[in-house]
Each structure stands twice: as structure tokens, then as C-alpha cells.
């Protein structure tokens, strides 16, 4: 045993003999704190902030200290590493999916990544969906579903700036999003209204024109100016609007 190993062995021995006092645990913690940092860094840029990873890993280290038995004959670092890793993985599993996805799919999507790497080696080409499905003995649909879901691992902020190399300069992701061209709908609607107006009788056209297109008069105003009753205006207007609704392209 090296000097360090003896020192660590002694440390744990006293810790257990003294019935695990907190100040001694803190001492051990500081001694192995470097493990936390190393392991947490391995999971950087996967959707969880470093500070959060560090916290989770530190809790993992405390668990490891609590459970470690120096008489089993292993180095503490080799015992603590899988414990800390496990804690981080658990955190990823529970917390990092922005949208909650059924566990079956979460797990499958992880298996797919592994299977893809494995099959790439053994088959010497990028595996097809079918090959992955056979390898994992699930249906092709399930594979596709899980692949789709894995994109939801985290959501991109619309305010993320995106380098667009072609045009130079920076754009926000938000700026690159497509949006429906409202003008198209406007012209289609305009077209439709004109088409519809051609098919109305002169009185109907007059009423719609006065009520909606030219000057948004009230029914009473229209009725007075055309010298008909307000009820007739109301009835005809309603009728025409219903006709339009029926004729409007879905």
C-alpha cells in the first residue's frame, strides 16, 4: 500500500469507529473533492449547468463516503467513481428532459445510441433502422419514435445566436424561424370576397359594401339610405354572411 492508501484507510477506519461524525466526513470529502470535479466535467454541455452537475456529483460523493467499507480491500476512489456517476445519470434521467417522455422511450433512445455505435463497428456501415430494430428486438416504429423523441432532450432557446456563415454576421435562432406569410392569406381572402360579391344580387352587394367594405355603416343607416327596413338589412346581411361561410374554402 502506498502512503496515500494507508492514510485513506486510516481515515475511513476512524470515521467508522467514531460513528461517522460530520467533521470527519467533511475532512474526507475535501480529500476526495477532486473526484467530483473530474466526473462532473465529463457531463458538461449536455443540457445541465456545471454548477448543478457539481452539486449532484458532490451528493454522490457523500453517499459514497457513507457506504464505503475500507476492509473490503478496494481503493475509495474506485468505489466512489461509479457511485458519483450513478448519481449524475439519475439526475439526467429525472431532470434533464425538458418534455417528459415515457421512460420506455427514454431508455430505448439511449439503447439506440449504444446499438448504433456497436452495429457501426460490427457491420462496417451505418446501421439501418431495420438492423437496429432487429438488434434491439423491438419494432422499427418504436425505433423511429424513440429517435424522434430524443431530439426533445432539451429545447433550444430562440434567443440563441446562430452564426450564419454564408451571409456573415449573427442571427438569433428566432430570426431564422419561418412564419406564415399573412399577405398570401390576405390576397386569397380578398379574392374570395370579390368572387363572392360578383355572385350577389345588387341589393345584397350594396348592403355588404356599405356595412363592411366602404364605410362600415350601421344597419339602421343602411336601411334609412336604401329606404328599406332595418330588419330586412339584418336578414339579408346574415344570409349573405352565412353563404360566404359555406363557400369559404376550408
Partner 1 sequence: MKDKIELTFPKKASYLSVLRMTASVISSQLDYNIDEIEDIKVMVSEAGVLFINNVPHDEEPLRVCFELTDTGISISITDRNSGEMVVDEGDMGVMIIDSLSDTWQLNLSQKRIILTKKLEKQDNR
Question: Cβ 227 to partner 1, closest distance in Å?
Answer: 7
Contact by Cβ (8 Å): 111, 98: no
| 204 counts as binding partner 1 under rule CB under 8 A | yes
Question: For residue 149, which of 90, 99, 115, 88 has the smallest C-alpha distance?
Answer: 99
Selected binder of partner 1 within 4, 229, 241, 247 (CB under 8 A): 229
C-alpha cell at 94: 429525472
User: Between vectors from CA 212 to CA 208 and to CA 215, what angle results, nearest 5°?
Assistant: 110
| 144 counts as binding partner 1 under rule CB under 8 A | no
| 13 counts as binding partner 1 under rule CB under 8 A | no
Among 36-44, 57-65, 82-90, 197-205, the segment contacting partner 1 (CB under 8 A): 197-205
Matching residue, cell 344580387: 201
Among 77-85, 108-116, 180-188, 221-229, the segment contacting partner 1 (CB under 8 A): 221-229
| 236 counts as binding partner 1 under rule CB under 8 A | yes
What three-state secondary structure class fits 162?
strand
- What's the DSSP call for residue 163? E
C-alpha to C-alpha distances, 90 to 87, 104, 147, 161, nearest whole angstrom: 5, 15, 21, 31
Q: Cα(192)–Cα(189) distance, rounded to whole angstroms? A: 5
State whether the Cα torsion 145-147-148-153 is positive or negative.
positive
C-alpha cell at 47: 443540457
Binding mask 80-119 for partner 1 (x = CB under 8 A): ----------------------------------------
Selected binder of partner 1 within 113, 114, 174, 231 (CB under 8 A): 231
Count interface residues toward partner 1 (CB under 8 A): 16
| 4 counts as binding partner 1 under rule CB under 8 A | no
Among 41-49, 155-163, 212-220, 231-239, the segment contacting partner 1 (CB under 8 A): 231-239
Among 35-43, 71-79, 188-196, 223-231, the segment contacting partner 1 (CB under 8 A): 223-231
Which parts of this chain interact with partner 1 (CB under 8 A)?
201-204, 226-229, 231-232, 234-236, 238-240
Amino acid at each position: 500500500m502506498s502512503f496515500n492508501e494507508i492514510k485513506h484507510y486510516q481515515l475511513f477506519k476512524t470515521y467508522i469507529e467514531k460513528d461517522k461524525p460530520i467533521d470527519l466526513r467533511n475532512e474526507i470529502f475535501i480529500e476526495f473533492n477532486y473526484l467530483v470535479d473530474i466526473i462532473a466535467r465529463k457531463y458538461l454541455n449536455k443540457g445541465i449547468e456545471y454548477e448543478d452537475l457539481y452539486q449532484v456529483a458532490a451528493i454522490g460523493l457523500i453517499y459514497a463516503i457513507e457506504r464505503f467499507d475500507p476492509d473490503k480491500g478496494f481503493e475509495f476512489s474506485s468505489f466512489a467513481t461509479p457511485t458519483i456517476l450513478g448519481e449524475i445519470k439519475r439526475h439526467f434521467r429525472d431532470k434533464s428532459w425538458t418534455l417528459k417522455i415515457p421512460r420506455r422511450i427514454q431508455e430505448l433512445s439511449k439503447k439506440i445510441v449504444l446499438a448504433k455505435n456497436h452495429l457501426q463497428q460490427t457491420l462496417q456501415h451505418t446501421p439501418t433502422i431495420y438492423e437496429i430494430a432487429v438488434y434491439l428486438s423491438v419494432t422499427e416504429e418504436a425505433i423511429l419514435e424513440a429517435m424522434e423523441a430524443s431530439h426533445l432532450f432539451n429545447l433550444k432557446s430562440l434567443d440563441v445566436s446562430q452564426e450564419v456563415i454564408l451571409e456573415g454576421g449573427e442571427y438569433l435562432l428566432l430570426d431564422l424561424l419561418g412564419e406564415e406569410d399573412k399577405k398570401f392569406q390576405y390576397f386569397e381572402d380578398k379574392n374570395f370576397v370579390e368572387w363572392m360579391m360578383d355572385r350577389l344580387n345588387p341589393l345584397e352587394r350594396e348592403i355588404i359594401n356599405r356595412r363592411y367594405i366602404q364605410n362600415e355603416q350601421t344597419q339602421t343607416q343602411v336601411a334609412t339610405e336604401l329606404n328599406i327596413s332595418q330588419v330586412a338589412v339584418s336578414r339579408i346581411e346574415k344570409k349573405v354572411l352565412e353563404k360566404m361561410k359555406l363557400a369559404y374554402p376550408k
